[in-house]
Amino acid sequence: MRIDVVSIFPSYFDGLTLSLLGKAQSAGILDLRVHDLREWTHDRHRTVDDTPYGGGAGMVMKPEPWALALDELVGTTTSEESARPTIIFPSPAGEVFSQATARELSTREHLVFGCGRYEGIDERVFEYASTLGEVRLISLGDYVLNGGEVATMAMVEAIGRLIPGVVGNPDSLVEESHEDGLLEYPSYTKPAVWRERPVPDVLLSGNHGAIAAWRREQQWERTRRRRPDLLPDGSEEL
Ligand code: 6GU
Check residue 28 and give its pLDDT: 94
Check residue 79 and give its pLDDT: 60
- Per residue in 123-169, pLDDT (tens digit) is 999 999 999 999 999 999 999 999 999 999 999 999 999 999 998 88
Q: Are 129 and 70 in contact (CB under 8 A)?
A: yes
Radius of gyration of the chain (CA): 22
- The set of residues, in sequence order, having a beta carbon less than 8 Å from that of 61 and lying 6+ positions away, is 48, 49, 116, 117, 118, 120, 121, 122, 125
Check residue 237 and give its pLDDT: 60
Check residue 82 and give its pLDDT: 65
Task: Take atom 11 of ligand 1 and give the residue whose Cα is closest.
Answer: 144
d(CA 99, CA 104): 9
In ligand 1, which atom is closest to the CA atom of 152? 1
Q: Are 68 and 40 in contact (CB under 8 A)?
A: yes
d(CA 215, CA 113): 38
Residue 94 CA to ligand 1 center (angstroms) comes to 8
Write down how long the chain is: 238
Residues of the chain with pLDDT under 50: none
Pocket, ligand 1, Cβ cutoff 6 A: 90-92, 139-141, 143-145, 147-148, 151
Q: Ligand 1: which of 60, 61, 91, 113 to mutate, judged by most atoms within 8 Å of the beta carbon?
A: 91
pTM summary value: 0.94
Task: Take atom 3 of ligand 1 and give the residue whose Cα is closest.
Answer: 145
d(CA 30, CA 91): 24
